[in-house]
Chain A
Amino acid sequence: MDLVSSQGLRIDGRRPNELRKIRCKLGVFSQPEGSAYLEQGNTKVLAAVYGPHQTKGSRSKAIHDAAIVNCQYSMATFSTNERKRRPRGDLKSTEMTLHLKQAMQASIKTDLYPYSQIDIYLEVLQADGGNYCACVNAATLALIDAGIPLKEYVIACSASLGNGDVPLIDVSHLEETMGGSNLTVAVLPLSGQIAVLEMSQKFHIDHLPVVLNEALNGCRRIYEILDEYVKTHLNEIGTIAGWAKSDF
């Protein structure tokens, strides 16, 4: 089945270069230092950040010139169609955790917090494709909420190919399963540095640049949306606290 109709629409009615609807909220919990809730279409993720704090467990883990970034990825039992028990630390989560860590480390100014640790917890409430991307984006928001210094946002976006040669961005679960290979990229959008790049299968060399380029465009677009939200959010909470929007 074609992922893009001859009228140029995807199955859910988007055009190939359109993102799903993004909604987010910062500071959804009070216990952690920072938290965020993010929806990308039907993919819904919660992120919570603790720290920086002293390294837990053995002291030997601590690094003398940087903070340890510790990520934990998990999926809620009710997050997919079939309700399954998902034990923590299964292979898929471990892989996700590692990739998340790599992306977050690229963004956090870890050198400001020697001998300490930053914990990022991610819980997928509903999974509908692009879980990793939503997690990265939610984690970025949570870090901002926590006030942890970042080099810049780290943003992730997925892309795939429809009908053999049409690049699609922000791939939904249905498109993931029906289509071919998926590419996921996490990037620092301002400097354009790539933190993580992953493909589910092989891409032909002719297609790779096109798909990657579309994914990067997607990241830039997500960045604009999140940044916009962060600014209004700060305006709001700032107005309440009385330091933003004040007339000088």
Chain B
Amino acid sequence: MLTSKTFLKKTKRGNILKIVREHYLRDDIGCGSRICKKCAIINENAILDDKLSSSISKAYVNPHYLIVDTNVVLHQIDVLEEDVLINVIILQTVLEEVKHRSTSIYKRLNDIINNPNRKFYVFVNEHHKDTYIEREPGETANNRNDRAIRVAAKWYDEHLFENQRNISLKKVIRIVLLTGDTDNKEKATQDGIFAASVEDYIYCLKDSKGIEDKLSKQEISYNEDSKEIFPCHLTPVQIHEGIKTGKLLHGSFQASKENFLEGQVNVEGYEKSILIQGYIELNRAVHGDIVALELLPEEQWSAPSEIVLQDDEVDNEEQIVESEIIKPKTVKEKTPTGKIVGIIRRKWRQYCGILQDNILQNSTRHIFVPAEKTIPKIRIETRQAATLIQQRIIVAIDSWSRYSRYPSGHFVRALGKIGDKETENEVLLLEHDVPHSRFSDKVLSYLPKLPWIISDEKVLNNINMFMNCLKQIAKRTDLRHINVCSVDPPGCTDIDDALHCNLLSNGNYEVGVHIADVSHFIKSGTALDEEAALRATTVYLLDKRIDMVPELLSSNLCSLKANEDRFAFSCIWEVTSHAEIVQINFCKSIIRSRAALTYEEAQLIIDDKKQTTVLAESLRNLNNLAKILKKKRIENGALVLASPEIRFYLDSETHDPIEVQAKQIRETNSMVEEFMLLANISVAEKIYEEFPEYAILRRHPCPPPSNFEPLIKAANYLGFEMDTSSNKNLARSLDAAQKKDNPYFNTILRILATRCMLQAVYFNSGMVTKDDFYHYGLAASIYTHFTSPIRRYADILVHRLLAACINADPTYPELLNKKKMNDICHNLNYRNRMAQYAGRASVALHTHMFFREKVQDEEGYILFVRKNALQILIPKYGLEGTLYLAPVKGGEQYVNFIYNEENHTQSYKEIVFHTFDPVIVQLSLDSSNIQHEKLIFKLVKPYIHNFSVPSVKQDTEKSQSNLNLSASEKRKEGDAFSFKSSSKKKKKMSKQ
């Protein structure tokens, strides 16, 4: 059964090695066709149809199976994903090349293969005795693979024919090889195989269903005389040589959000990222690409232009207006500047956006405008423009020619009408890669059956003690006699934490934090678990919550509702009245919450001295202890950072925002927070002690000094020194920076400080040295997430680890697999970041909706002074926007501002704008372009003739009195939705 063959392989690792590996050729690999009698025994999953009534193509009479080559898969995956194409044979040669070239396309291809309806069969041609070929002397690897594909196609043709000897020739199932390579096509035809390019094949389909729009355009011919815009990219070999000799650098390209002609590349070993300025210098790099770049000589170095520039070019011209490339002429502080000379790896994905209005009616060529500002516009060809112009659509980039100003791509699918709430949310979720399809039946099958009742036998009792010991449930302690309560934002349905506090006879306190026992319901390895691990976190949009676990768990069985028996994971401390921990105990428990309070209700109970119930006393004790804990924490150097937290009031029916308001923070917010922190730290210590190699922890790295530069500069304008040497010193200097005439100054500083921070990340304790465990924001030497398992997957893992520590649950192999856990951590970090961005985008979306047909004057502060604009923060909405000082293109300029680079000021006559200055701006929504609404900032105060706009009469008093003050802490769904603004992190840092 085994034939052995050895083959030689050379690999380069400094010196050339000769590697000899065995390569077994087999005779037990089936062809995968149901028609085949020869392979009947070994065809494990014959999925290729035996009864193909007729050909789906006009070009071929015979019914046929398709074989595709590697480039077809890589470039036309969108076409392959269409249901029209079935009965496709994927050769192993192709599969491996795809895997090697693009992980994401490999994954998509696998999804197709795993869908039985699509009938994609993987044929392991490289290990089949008749289809394996050896590379001939002088043959390139590519040519060898092309030949292998042809050999396999030929084999299939003959193999299938042997099974169809009695059938008329026109009905014989044949093979059609799809290849983009003309040479390959020719050779295949010579061999007697049907071969075609994908384009030709698709255009000949009898029922194409608009699939041709999805064809990727690799080669668009340009006129001979069309001017080349960009210089050539270097070849991979040149890049490789350049990097080796140190002439070239490489890193990932980050396009600027503010200026489409600017970007930067983070290069390893360089403290500052390298600036790229100008169209030619950017040389077709798209945000995220791994690029090779050349550092310019130092005299050509430049600085970020501090100009806000959008690609507003409507006309279809190929030329770039030279004036658009504005480089600062006098540069004070130069940063390393470079130009991109080659692309190492494209990181293109699919983009959401809209079609740009086309002047030419009935044209099939269109320009697509991505929602993401960092992505250039894309050329596409479509015949459905008339309907698509009203819609949000998805487009993929295919190529970017030297002759084209924009990359070319193809239409993938439409999402829905522009401006539709559903469509806009869909865009938001897609753009942030949030998995949001409904839970599959397989996932739901792992949910407990209702009614779910905790029967008495599940609970530890004296009579049945022995029997219970045999069951896992015996490890659960009954805490239902304890007065536990939960404190959450109003309308919260996924309650994952509850608290209690008792005075002990020795004068100490017993404090308990009870967390929903989600890991009891989500067992490792189940589809439910895998789905939760993939989603990683619940995503909160303003009007929508995308759950990590199905609702039955999140809002019912796991939620610690009042007066319901619930399973919990309890963390119980004995603390002294000075909040010093005497001992800790962890146990799985059953609790019965006495009350599900809001922050406001809890605050009222604490403040109302007449209330002397057990619950009230317990809350008061908790509150006092929390104050001590917080004081200690801040003394240790924990940061208090600001972010304007706002809250939208939504219309209960339309879900349109009707009122926006800054949030209020109460003592009770901080009370809950302190105990969650305490629980997280205690658990982190415990699991690290038990599993030093495998604990899932969270760290917040200390920001590099260069991150603080904007903060230090900004504070310096107003004469304040920022000591950023440690978190403690930073906290101290932030406290000291107060300005009497500008009460908001300190908050702005804290907002700026927030932006200097790095992201906190999950990690595996076995992969990081102990010194790097530090949580900068919390000033904690070790930290993890334990307290929100309903909405965070990390907490579920931590629960499992802790359960293993106390012998409540056994471990399982993946939990103690460093590599696997590391991969999971990476996913958690990625999803968290995306969830955060999605949340911000949702706020922006609602802000736009709020300002629809509204014009309002608002008080704002200048965050940054730029060369042609002021960056303004509106604390009331937590909103940040740009006030352009230079006129929009085409507008006339009456007022000339003078920009002072030295002091970062803009002045006109006697009026000078500094950073932190208060201004009054008028906000309105520019809906002139329905497809792309923009929030417009106009200056009201200080008044500048011919520049400022008159104030709108606004009934502020009235709206003030209507404010329904209520605070909320977590982002949770309810009648009112609370949200953090784009410049957030305060809560984030402490809660997370």
Contact = CB atoms under 8 A, between A and B. Distances in A.
B955 interface: no
Q: Which interface class (under 10, 10 to 19, 20 to 34, 35 or more) fits B?
A: 20 to 34
A172 B17 CA distance: 18
A207 interface: yes
Interface string B19-48: 111111110000000000000000000000
B122 A7 contact: yes
B816 interface: yes
B22 A81 contact: no
Interface in A3-41: 5-7, 9, 12-14, 18, 20-21, 41
B21 to A, nearest CB: 6
A81 B122 contact: no
B610 interface: no
Contacts of A81: 17-19
A174 B820 contact: no
B813 A206 contact: yes
A26 B811 CA distance: 48
B814 interface: yes
Interface string A201-240: 0101011000000000000000000000000000000000
Contacts of A82: 17
Given A42-B6, A81-B17, A9 B124 contact: yes
A164 interface: yes
A207 B820 CA distance: 16
Interface string B672-713: 000000000000000000000000000000000000000000
A189 B19 CA distance: 34
A132 B372 CA distance: 58
Contacts, number: 59
Nearest to A126: B20
A12 B22 contact: yes
A11 B26 CA distance: 13
Contacts of A13: 23-26, 124, 126-127
A42 B22 contact: yes
Q: Which interface class (under 10, 10 to 19, 20 to 34, 35 or more) fits A?
A: 20 to 34
B92 interface: yes
Interface string B800-812: 0000000000011
A179 B304 CA distance: 47
Contact of B813 (A21, A128, A207): A207
B470 interface: no
Contacts of B316: none
B816 A204 contact: yes
A175 B138 CA distance: 30
A21 B25 CA distance: 12
A12 B20 CA distance: 11
Nearest to B15: A82
A172 B22 contact: yes
B124 A206 contact: no
A164 B20 contact: no
| Residue from the set B24, B26, B817 with the largest chain A CB neighbour count within 10 Å | B24
Given A6-B122, A42-B20, A81-B17, A18 B2 contact: yes
Given A12-B22, A18-B2, A21-B4, A206 B812 contact: yes
Interface in B269-283: none
B2 A12 contact: no
Given A20-B22, A41-B22, 11 more contacts: A7-B122, A9-B124, A13-B26, A14-B2, A14-B24, A20-B4, A42-B6, A81-B17, A81-B18, A128-B20, A174-B21
15 contacts: A5-B92, A6-B110, A6-B122, A12-B21, A12-B23, A13-B126, A14-B2, A42-B22, A81-B19, A82-B17, A164-B814, A165-B813, A172-B21, A174-B21, A207-B813
Interface of B: 2, 4, 6, 17-26, 92, 110, 113, 122, 124, 126-127, 811-814, 816-817, 820
8 interchain residue pairs of minimum CB distance: A13-B24, A204-B813, A13-B127, A12-B22, A21-B4, A81-B17, A41-B22, A7-B124
